[in-house]
Structure formats: structure tokens, C-alpha cells
Structure 1
Amino acid sequence: MPGRLPPAMRPQHQSTAVDVYASNSDLYADPRLVERVDYRRRFKRHRPRTRSVVLAPHGGGIEVGTSELCLAIAGYSPSTRVPIGQTHDYWMFEGLRTASNDELHVTSSHCDDRVARAMVSGAAHALGLHGCTAAAAGLEDHDRAVLVGGRDALLRLELLTRLRRAGFHTVDAADHPVLGGGDRANIANRTKTRQGGQLELTTPLRNAMFAENSRSDRRHTTTEVFWDFVHACRAALAAREAPTN
């Protein structure tokens, strides 16, 4: 298929498996895929734009729980999408299949969705939300942990501080070779300042955020763990937006 990278050159993602698609454009061009059946794109762009944008490049069934987190951290109820406080722009790509959503994974450094790039390039700050296995993070299988990365050192520090205060097992992933979010091409780092934040949540942590972890029920059954995480992230973004930063 045109635009596809040869196997040896395709990007690697968290599980070290090879992505099927070289970019979002490559995926969108596949005639075998149907938007709103296999995948969908959701976003909210304010006028005027907000200073921060929240991203879930692998939402829906790809990295489970990141869609709901994206909405809530952006200031919207995951169940009703009604504002719950200060709101931010957001963008997400979601896998809608009942199985094999991992085939729709496009590594963040190859995200070329026009809307996503336009939103991030106009923002001062960005926060990308991802899911990973505990093993990929170098942790025990049961670890409820979050790896905090990205090129924005100030945002990373705010996230580390506030998530730790909220009782979460946090890991500074600045130097992690795969999950650190340091690639300049990473969609979260395509802001006005060419830096952003990235969170990689382990599967056990994401599982703890929903009483019923299914596509239809997640948005209605968010737990205290979910909201503690959301409030910490929102506080970190607010601190990063403060004039002193």
C-alpha cells in the first residue's frame, strides 16, 4: 500500500511490536478501514484556543482508558461530555473494533493527523496520554504506575509532584528509551515551544480507574482512582499555565 514503510523501517511502540501503518494518513487511506466502524476521531477546538491541549492518540480499544482520561483532564465528564470546570482543547484517535485494535496503533512520532497537528502547533502546552504494560515499563506485572515523560521539563515536574502527592506510583521517564516521550516529532512535543508532556499508565492502574472496564461502561463507572488522577493532572496543567511559568 502506498506510504507504508518496509518492515525493517516501521516504528516501534510500547509492546515492541511493529506498527501496521506508517502514519495516520496511511491508516486513513486504507480502503479496508471504515471511519466510525473501525476507528473514529474526536476533538474539541475552542475559539479562542486554549493554552493547553490534551491528547489520546491511541484511545478507544487501543490503549484502554485513555479516551475517558483525555475528556476528563480536558474538563469534560466522560459520561455526558458536560464541562466540569476549566476546559482545554482535546484530540483523540480511537479504535472501535471488538478485537485487534492494536493494529490501529500509530506511534506518536508519526501522528500526522491535520487537526491534531494544527491544534498542538497553536498551543503553548500539550499532554499526551498513553497506556503501557507494566513489563514494558520495567515494572512488576501488578504495578499501578505512571511514567511521566515528554520534553517539557516544567510540566513533567508538576505532574510528578502532584501525582505523587495524590498517592500514585510515579516514575520519571525522561530517560526511558521507549516510553520517555522525548522525540521531537512526538505529537505532544509539536507545540509552539516544541515541548510537551507524556504519561504512560500501566494496565493495572488503568484497570483500577473503572468499576466496569468495557467500552460501553467505562465512561459511566469511573472510580476514585480515576478522579484523583484527573485532578492531579489538571492541577499540573494549571500550574504550568500560571504566569510564573
Structure 2
Amino acid sequence: MSPSTPQRPRTSRRTLLTALAATPLLSALGTGTARATAAGDVYASNTDLYTRLPDGEGTDYARRYRRHEMADASTEARFPFHRTTVLAPHGGGIEAGTSELCLAIAGYHPATLERAQADGPVHDYWMFEGIRNADNRELHVTSRHCDDRVALALAAGSLNVLSLHGCTAAQAGAPASRPEAVVVGGRNTDFRRHLHEELRAAGFRTVDGAEVPDLGGDDPDNICNRTLLGKGGQLELTTELRQGMFGSFTRQGRAKSTNDTFRRFTAACRAAITRLEAGPDQAVL
């Protein structure tokens, strides 16, 4: 098959149509159902999506990333390096709010992309974003099938990854009376503990990913775990929690309307990363 020939999805047409019929479409705001499994995905992987939408970048989807330049030219001293990468595999209109969170946790203002704190740490980041006016759900690729080469390279070159996602309150097991919650998952138990403690101290309700297996992020192939240590962290934020972080929950309005809830959440995540990076397994031998 030539590179220009579209690849067929691995799922049969009947299976795909059945899955789509059983799962409600997301709105343009990306407030609907997240899927940790690939049952409802239209595309088998990022590569499949890029191949079948060859002209889609800039119209259907966008990819944004930053890898910070580091250099060690000394023969006598060892210089620090960036240990952590922040990911939003379903940003933009797919799981709304995760792009803005990704940038802020990485240390950048989501509207201007300028450093949020002149003396604060910054982290590498990568985002895949749905930028359609509607039907962004069709661009969802489950995290264990994420094979974007930049995303894989950033994860594989990092000791840690924090991956951000959106879910519904029902998926998180949150009651209708208090739907704002975040599911903390991933294979890095230290990272999960730090995230639980920092987020709870900041006033957020956290749910252990072990209690919600579909959102637990414990698959070794999940992009959050494809690090140098083979483990990472994953956060699944309910729609209500994400909506409460912005004055305007539209694609155009989110980056410019972050509020105190947004700032408390991102500060808690950054504090958890700082604690993680101080651990004994964070040294390069």
C-alpha cells in the first residue's frame, strides 16, 4: 500500500456503526462522554487519523507542543533536565478545557503562551485538539492507541507524564448533587498520592482511579505510562468541574476567562509535580 492510500480502520463497519449508535455524540464544546476504551473510536490510532484526514490539520484538528532546549557542555558538572511532560491527547473541542489546563500546568498562560511565572518551572507539553465547529468526538483516539510520534518521543524521553482528560460525573461515580470531581490514575503510585493530597488540600474532590477501572489509566500502553520509568499520572475531570474553571466555556473564550478554580487546580498539579521530581527515582545515573 502506498503512503497516499488511505488505511482502513481495524474495526469492521458493522461494529463501528453499532458502537456509534450506542454512544451519544459530543457537542462542539466537548462536554460529553470520554472513552478509555476504543469501542467507539472512528480511528484506530493517530496515524490512522492523520492518514485518512490528510488535509485535516488546521481545519479538523491541531497539534501543539513544546520541547525545551537543554544543554550540558560541562565536563565537570551535571546540569538539570526537564523530567516531566504534560499531555492533552483530547484537547480543543474533544474534551474541552484540557488544552488550557495542559498549558497552565506546563507553566504557560493559555491565551498568550507566555511564561506564567518568570522564575517558575516549565515543562514540555503536547496537545492534540479538535477544532471543528461540531462533531469533534469523531477525532477521539483512545490513549493506549496514541502513536503521534512527537507525543511518543516526549513521553519516552521523560521520567514523568501527566495526561489530562475529560469525563462525565456518572463515569467518575460522582453524585448528581456534587458532580465536580477528578479521577486520579496512572501507574505511578507516588504521583497519584501527590496529586490526591495536593488537589484535596486545594479543595477538590478526588476519586481513586482504582475505583473507576475504565478511567484508571493503568494500561502500560496508555501514553501517560510510556515514560522512561514505565509509569505516569492521569487526571479525568468531570464536565462540571471543567466548566467551573472558566467564565466562558467556548473554544474562543476559555483561554481568556480562566478563574480562581482553574488557578487553584493548576497550582495543585504543579505542586504535585514538584514533589514527585524531588523523589529518589528522579535522578539520572
Per the normalisation by structure 2, the TM-score is 0.82
Partner Cα separation in structure 2 for residue 224 and residue 39 of structure 1: 29
Partner Cα separation in structure 2 for residue 232 and residue 42 of structure 1: 24
1:1-245 equivalence runs, <5 A: 2-7=7-12, 8=15, 13-14=35-36, 18-31=40-53, 34-48=56-70, 50-84=82-116, 85-141=120-176, 142-244=178-280
* Structure 1 spans left out of the alignment, 5+ residues: none
Conservation of the 8 A alpha-carbon contact between 1:174 and 1:181: no
* 1:193 aligned counterpart, secondary structure: coil
Partner Cα separation in structure 2 for residue 153 and residue 20 of structure 1: 32
* 1:162 aligned counterpart, secondary structure: helix
* Structure 2 spans left out of the alignment, 5+ residues: 1-5, 20-33, 71-80
How far the C-alpha of 1:211 sits from its partner, in A, is: 0.5
Letter in 2 for 1:23: S
Please give the per-residue CA displacement for 1:111-156, whole angstroms capped at 9, x wherever unaligned. 0000000000000000000000111112224510000000000000
Cα 1:217–1:124 shift into 2, 3 Å: same
Letter in 2 for 1:92: M
Aligned alpha-carbon RMSD (Å): 1.9
Conservation of the 8 A alpha-carbon contact between 2:99 and 2:127: yes
Please give the per-residue CA displacement for 1:199-245, whole angstroms capped at 9, x wherever unaligned. 00000000000001111110000010000000000000010001445
Bigger Rg, which one: 2
Conservation of the 8 A alpha-carbon contact between 2:248 and 2:254: yes
Per the normalisation by structure 1, the TM-score is 0.94
Partner Cα separation in structure 2 for residue 3 and residue 232 of structure 1: 42
- Structure 1 runs of 4+ aligned residues shifted over 3 Å read 7-10, 14-17
Give the % identical residues. Answer: 53
Aligned length, in residue pairs? 244
